[in-house]
Chain A
Amino acid sequence: MLFNSYTFILFFVILLFLHYLPLKWKVKKFNLLIASYLFYSAWNPVFVFLIWISTIVDWFSAKKIYNTEKKIIKRSFLFLSLLTNLGLLSFFKYSEFLLDNFINLLSVFGITFHPAMPDIVLPVGISFYTFQTLSYTNDIYRNKLNPAGSFLDFALYVTFFPQLVAGPIVRATTFLPQCKWPKKPDFEMIGWGASLFLLGLFQKVVVADGLLAPVAEKVYDNANIPNTITAWAGTLAFSGQIFCDFAGYSTCAIGVALCLGFVLPDNFKYPYAAIGFADFWKRWHISLSSWLRDYLYISLGGNRKGTFRTYNNIMATMFLGGLWHGASWTFVAWGCFHGFYLIIERVLKKIIPSSTIWSLSPVKILLSSFTFILVCFTWVFFRSHNFKQAFSIIKSMAGGNGQGVNLLSTYDMITSFTMIALILITHWIMRDRSLKEITLSMHWSLRSVIFSTVLILIIFLSGEHHAFIYFQF
């Protein structure tokens, strides 16, 4: 079920009504759980079984890990949890990729192998909920968390519909305590939650789908080689599209959860205003980057085992981070470029002495712009269908494709450059501010005018409907 669909609005209105009826808290949580399964079933009811497998295995594994003192038993059940979740993820997401690579490897040695290719449908959101449940068993194994009080709470944590299919990846430490006490109707929470939902829809429907997706598609879904300006316009459009698409979903999810009385963690903090890549990853898909840091990078040794191992760990983390996004080497390349930039940044920070010059605004803007340009180059790999296309577009962006053609109209160019400029300015202005504080400081009538304008734009500017990009991950 898409947030930007009539069925979701209908579903949510009914759910909100049920949620605020004077019922027992346990009944309300049960309602939320059923609603979450219904929400997921709207794509494919069969795949609810996968969520059940993940939920049941992790519930029992966590109990066993917590209740035993024996290290070997703890490890065995952690292994069971990892095997189940990563096994499901690998089967559904990486089978074809692995088989393809195996075939290619054999062909290097002159062996021709033509197996029947499996036609496996990728369950929506599997990458998100498997990581979420894995964090639960890992936290219990590391004695950072006690098991959930009830199976209902745990099942709701795994399945809670606002963040089920595209994040944020919520930690049990954040969610489970919120299941303890009943939620009462709270107009402030509902009011702010609805505002966030509106903002998220605006980002998705108007900016990502309506304005930027058509421009990016004309460049990236085209067999012709673009000229320099077209390649830049298409890549900038995609940079804006992927931010508005994904941040839009997260904002909607946070808003919907707030309306139900649950607080989810922020997933984006104006990432295109980042100065450097370490800063970028503290602002972009925060719930994933912190997951990778806590459960992968630190588990590999983090920065505790010398400079070389640190760089190695960064690269391995970003390699897997890239692979998490999709079963394709272009996603791996995207992750590796980010790993490479993070390493270079670390090296430069060691070499270049600290100075007050770095805190000057013009220098900050310059560094932020440089970071953004490098991020744009990595997006080329993320969006391209293959390496050939990626290198061709990068060559065009660097001015090396003299025979590239103009694939965009003047209107498309203006849309792309204007929108990305507006996004960058907004990110820079909002860099260290809270949207909530700004909204609350407004008079209610001004808020009404802004909200109605946003709503009008959603109604009258909605373009062709696209699924959220991150659903495929």
Chain B
Amino acid sequence: MRSFISSFKKNSKKNWILTWCGTIFLIVIIMFLVEFFWRKAGHVPKVIDDKALWAIERSKINFKNPKTVLLLGKSHIQVGFSIDTFNTICPDYQIFQLAIAAGASPVAVLNDLAVNTDFNGIIICEMSTEDFFKKNWGTQQEYIEYLYKNYNLNAQINRQISTFFQEKLVIMNPNLNLYNILENLVINHAFPTPQHVIMDSRRDYYADFTKYNRNKKNDRLAIFNFLESKYRKQFDAKNNFSISTYNKPWVVPLKVEDQWLYEAEAVVSLAKRINDRGGKVVFVHFPISKQMAAEYPKNLFWDRLKKDSSVEMIHFFDKKSLNQYYCPDGAHLDFRDTPGFTKSLINELIDLNFIE
């Protein structure tokens, strides 16, 4: 019977050795040239975020150490908080970036820490007003599910090798794959320009807004690259997420701000649960533009929750030291501003006795 692919018939050993040596030689040459080309064009190596990288950071946490600091939230804190600055000011603390740029609300991660762990360290939880709405609670849940169902040694090793290459080589950046290059050539008639956002293996973002071009698709999507149709679909699917430990009867208030307050109290209950066992949780509203902030007037939403809340809450509007920064895209700080902002935030936390 004729065998179509696996048949084996003797061919010269020398030919096969030459074939594969030739292949390796050509590959090395081509990769070197492409790497050289992109570096010359200003591109730098960049680690690409995903669930496995998040899970690696999450699995490093020492839950018994009260001097552990966790950063929860979304892109605002990933871009706006400088881990290097924090480490310089607070060398005794261990800090982990658990914010998820792709997720709108960190409630699922907060819920996991409150319910499934005995964490009693410090949580800086970046929350915008809309993140308290129940409809947004489940947006980071898929990361929790990945952690418990799919994350294992294999995923960890694979991700660590991937991170190693991404840290060293520009060509490992998927934004520079042939699809994107072709798309850029067709739409912009040019090769992709260096992105204004890069991330390191600690999941710390650096946004250089001097390279930001609002009209370029790649730049618009650099931070919100998951907020496309696929993510939206998952977002809708997760709306059933609920906080199992919150037992107050559910009511349907008439006004949106009342509904928000009711739902926000459930989120606060999670923070309280961590506080009750010796942890410290603070909700921080990071700087955004006035236009974005006007969507949810502070006095109708944030201030009402803060008034009766047993959990610390910091709104950038209330603190002069935090309100002096400009967000070039309306929601994120430039990397030149993040050390100053981080320092100011740490000072606020020292005032609250969160950090010694």
**Given A196-B5, A448-B18, A449-B26; A461-B179 close (CB under 8 Å):** yes
Cβ of A321 within 8 Å of any chain B Cβ, yes or no, is no
Cβ of B11 within 8 Å of any chain A Cβ, yes or no, is yes
**Given A187-B17, A448-B22; A265-B154 close (CB under 8 Å):** no
Cβ of B27 within 8 Å of any chain A Cβ, yes or no, is yes
Determine the main DSSP class of B at the interface with A: helix
Q: Which of A5-13, A98-106, A308-316 contacts B (4 or more CB under 8 A)?
A: A5-13
**B9 proximity list for chain A (CB < 8 A):** 436, 440
**Given A5-B158, A7-B157, A461-B177; A265-B19 close (CB under 8 Å):** no
Q: Are A263 and B161 in contact (CB under 8 A)?
A: no
Q: Are B11 and A440 in contact (CB under 8 A)?
A: yes
Residue of A nearest to B7 (CB): A436
Cα of A444 to Cα of B13 in the assembled complex, Å:
11
Q: Are B154 and A7 in contact (CB under 8 A)?
A: yes
Residue of B11, B17, B21, B177 with most chain A CB atoms under a 10 A cut-off: B11
Cα of A457 to Cα of B4 in the assembled complex, Å:
24
Q: Are A187 and B13 in contact (CB under 8 A)?
A: yes
**Given A42-B154, A451-B23; A210-B5 close (CB under 8 Å):** no
Min CB–CB distance A47 → chain B (angstroms): 13
Cβ of B10 within 8 Å of any chain A Cβ, yes or no, is yes
Q: Kindly identify, within residues 6 to 59 of chain A, every residue whose CB is under 8 Å from any CB belonging to chain B.
A: 6-7, 10, 42-43
Q: Kindly identify, within residues 106 to 149 of chain A, every residue whose CB is under 8 Å from any CB belonging to chain B.
A: none
Cβ of B278 within 8 Å of any chain A Cβ, yes or no, is no
**B34 proximity list for chain A (CB < 8 A):** 460
Picked from B6, B23, B178, B233, the residue with its CB within 8 Å of the CB of A460 is: B178
Number of interface residues of A (CB under 8 A): 50
Residue of B nearest to A447 (CB): B19
Residue of A188, A194, A264, A265 with most chain B CB atoms under a 10 A cut-off: A188
Q: Kindly identify, within residues 438 to 464 of chain A, every residue whose CB is under 8 Å from any CB belonging to chain B.
A: 440, 444-445, 447-449, 451-452, 455-457, 459-463
Q: Kindly identify, within residues 156 to 200 of chain A, every residue whose CB is under 8 Å from any CB belonging to chain B.
A: 187-192, 194, 196
Picked from B11, B27, B154, B229, the residue with its CB within 8 Å of the CB of A1 is: B154
Min CB–CB distance B230 → chain A (angstroms): 8
Q: Scan B151-168; emit 1 where CB is below 8 A from any A CB, else 0.
A: 011100110011000000
Q: Are A10 and B6 in contact (CB under 8 A)?
A: no
Cβ of A356 within 8 Å of any chain B Cβ, yes or no, is no
**B153 proximity list for chain A (CB < 8 A):** 42
Residue of A nearest to B236 (CB): A223
Picked from A188, A210, A266, A432, the residue with its CB within 8 Å of the CB of B6 is: A266
**Given A42-B154, A462-B177; A251-B19 close (CB under 8 Å):** no
**B18 proximity list for chain A (CB < 8 A):** 444-445, 448
**B11 proximity list for chain A (CB < 8 A):** 188, 191-192, 440
Q: Are A463 and B179 in contact (CB under 8 A)?
A: yes
Q: Are B27 and A434 in contact (CB under 8 A)?
A: no
Cβ of B174 within 8 Å of any chain A Cβ, yes or no, is yes
Q: Are B4 and A269 in contact (CB under 8 A)?
A: yes
What are 19 pairs between A and B in contact, CB < 8 Å? A43-B154, A188-B16, A191-B11, A191-B19, A194-B20, A251-B5, A264-B6, A434-B2, A436-B5, A436-B7, A447-B19, A448-B23, A449-B26, A452-B23, A452-B26, A459-B171, A460-B176, A461-B177, A462-B177
A-B interface, 3 closest residue pairs, ranked by CB to CB distance from nearest: A191-B16, A448-B22, A452-B26
Give B contacts to A, CB under 8 Å.
2-13, 15-23, 25-27, 30-31, 34, 152-154, 157-158, 161-162, 171, 174, 176-179, 183, 229-230, 233
Give A contacts to B, CB under 8 Å.
1, 5-7, 10, 42-43, 187-192, 194, 196, 210, 217-218, 221, 251, 254, 258, 263-266, 268-270, 411, 432, 434-436, 440, 444-445, 447-449, 451-452, 455-457, 459-463
What 13 additional pairs, Cβ within 8 angstroms, besides A436-B4, A449-B26?
A10-B161, A192-B11, A192-B16, A263-B8, A266-B6, A270-B4, A434-B3, A436-B6, A444-B18, A455-B23, A456-B30, A460-B171, A460-B177
